[in-house]
Amino acid sequence: MKLPVTPALVACVAAAAVAAGPAAARPSGAASVVKVSAPPLGLKFDTKVLRAHPGKIKIVFTNRSTIQHNVRIESGENELGGTKTLGKGLAVAFLTLKKGTYNFYCSVPGHEAAGMKGKLVVS
């Protein structure tokens, strides 16, 4: 019988890799995958906190709204990257980040102020 790979199992494996020591390498090329979405209504994301491991991070943004959105990552006021702006659909972005706490937000004017923002914790 093949075991289904659940997100919880993946998280356990990732945690075990971290527990082995800071220098423990994860499988080559493996990126932390961070998923975030915007609901059909309202100016908001489905979460306020995203978590990833240091190194390469893949951001998968699903916009379920017809309103244009994006997901951008910043450190303080320095924008580091993020997805393109799109209406309903899916956008992917890659970033390489060190340990720390970053901000994510939607850069469409007015959206961050309306609440489209949160923290990305890299640890």
Residue with smaller CB distance to Cu ion, 53 or 104: 104
Residue 72 CB, shortest distance to Cu ion, in Å, is: 10
Q: Which of 34, 50, 106, 120 binds Cu ion (CB under 5 A)?
A: 106
Segment contacting Cu ion by CB under 5 A, of 11-19, 67-75, 76-84, 91-99? 67-75
Considering only CA atoms, which of 87, 86, 97 is closest in space to residue 58? Answer: 97
Report how far residue 53's alpha carbon sits from residue 56's, in angstroms, rounded to the nearest whole number. Answer: 8
Considering only CA atoms, which of 96, 21, 83 is closest in space to residue 56? Answer: 96
| Residue 53 within binding range of Cu ion, rule CB under 5 A | no
Other CB atoms closer than 10 Å to residue 104's CB: what's the count? Answer: 24
| Residue 91 within binding range of Cu ion, rule CB under 5 A | no
Footprint on this chain of Cu ion (rule: CB under 5 A): 69, 106, 108, 111, 116
